[in-house]
Amino acid sequence: MSVTIEQIHQAVGAWAPWDTAEEWDNAGLLVRCAGEVTGVLCTLDITREAVEAAKAAGCNTIVSHHPVVFRAMKTFDAEGPLETLLREGVSAVCAHTNLDKVAGGVSETLARRAGLEHLRLDGFCCVGELPRPVPARDFAAHVGAALSTHVKFTRGDAAVRTVCAVSGAGGDLFADAASLGADCLLTGEASHHEGLDSPIPIIAASHHATEVLIVDELVRRLAADFPGLKLTAFYGEDPFTYL
């Protein structure tokens, strides 16, 4: 089965439309090295290790969540991710904020893993319900176990049932979560002042842990669109080590 990089780009966009990405974002076919795709590696971040894993698996294309080019590049490093892609002839399709907001995307995948039901999407927010109210600290412990990660939380004694899940760096959306009727915000990152200012509990379970869940979903969807195409998952590691 012959698959082109344009078909991969179109398939991802059919699920998470490219024109729904935020204006400040950089999403789409960001690196094009070859027309025909030998295989696809799906990952959260495009790192040198991810490119090496793609080459070892016989894949000349990477589909990632985080863009390999995000901010303006003023210097270049031969060992950097972008330069390694070009040197090794590996293309990159990056679905970022468009994949955060879509049904079945990053925030909804987080919500489902956290055990939320009756989900509804509103921008970056995926709001759902727990079966019964629980203290915020108990829900935080449940999230930590479900994601195999550390968590931090505020207002541990507050009762939580309606939860707004925002994958990645969503701590600044506490007001949006509250306006949607949520009594808790589950996200990856939250700052000190967001914790102070939020009228509802915030549970922060790390950027990596709340978003790496999308890797398996990317593999599953591409397998359905392109039967027989070589696909592999690369989860990478959280850049932070926690004591």
pLDDT at 1 exceeding the cut of 80? no
Q: Is residue 78 domain-shared with residue 109, that is, in the same domain?
A: no
What would the mean pLDDT of 11-36 be, rounded to a whole number?
Answer: 96
227 Rama class: left (phi>0) / alpha (psi -120 to 50) / beta: beta
Question: Which pLDDT score, from 0 to 100, does residue 102 have?
Answer: 98
Q: Does any domain span residue 40?
A: yes
pLDDT at 209 exceeding the cut of 90? yes
Q: Does any domain span residue 70?
A: yes
Q: Are 99 and 66 in contact (CB under 8 A)?
A: no
Q: Does any domain span residue 12?
A: yes
Question: Which pLDDT score, from 0 to 100, does residue 71 have?
Answer: 85
Q: Does any domain span residue 80?
A: yes
The CATH number assigned to the domain holding 229 equals: 3.40.1390.30
Q: Is residue 168 domain-shared with residue 220, that is, in the same domain?
A: no
Q: Does any domain span residue 243?
A: no
pTM of the model: 0.95
Q: Is residue 140 domain-shared with residue 218, that is, in the same domain?
A: no
pLDDT level of residue 243 (50, 70, 90 thresholds): confident
Q: Are 1 and 88 in contact (CB under 8 A)?
A: no
When divided into structural domains, the chain yields a total of: 2
Q: Are 150 and 242 in contact (CB under 8 A)?
A: yes
Q: What percent of the chain has pLDDT over 70?
A: 100
- Rounded to whole angstroms, how far apart are CA atoms 86 and 51? 10
Q: Does any domain span residue 193?
A: yes
Question: Which pLDDT score, from 0 to 100, does residue 211 have?
Answer: 98
Q: Is residue 107 domain-shared with residue 194, that is, in the same domain?
A: yes
Q: Is residue 60 domain-shared with residue 90, that is, in the same domain?
A: yes
Q: What residues make up the domain containing 43?
A: 5-99+212-234
- The CA-based angle 17-5-226, given to 5 degrees, is 80
Q: Is residue 85 domain-shared with residue 111, that is, in the same domain?
A: no
**Chain segment 99-131, per-residue pLDDT in tens:** 999 999 999 999 999 999 999 999 999 999 999
Tokens of 207: 């950027």
**Chain segment 130-151, per-residue pLDDT in tens:** 999 999 999 999 999 999 999 9
Q: Is residue 190 domain-shared with residue 227, that is, in the same domain?
A: no
Q: Is residue 124 domain-shared with residue 92, that is, in the same domain?
A: no
Question: Which pLDDT score, from 0 to 100, does residue 76 have?
Answer: 87
**Chain segment 46-99, per-residue pLDDT in tens:** 999 999 999 999 999 999 999 999 988 888 888 899 999 999 999 999 999 999
Q: Does any domain span residue 242?
A: no
DSSP assignment of 158-199:
SEEEEEEEE-SS-GGGHHHHHHTT-SEEEES---HHHHHH-S
Q: Is residue 81 domain-shared with residue 121, that is, in the same domain?
A: no
Q: Does any domain span residue 148?
A: yes
Question: Which pLDDT score, from 0 to 100, does residue 74 have?
Answer: 85
Q: Is residue 87 domain-shared with residue 117, that is, in the same domain?
A: no
Q: Is residue 115 domain-shared with residue 28, that is, in the same domain?
A: no
Q: Is residue 29 domain-shared with residue 64, that is, in the same domain?
A: yes
Question: Which pLDDT score, from 0 to 100, does residue 64 have?
Answer: 98
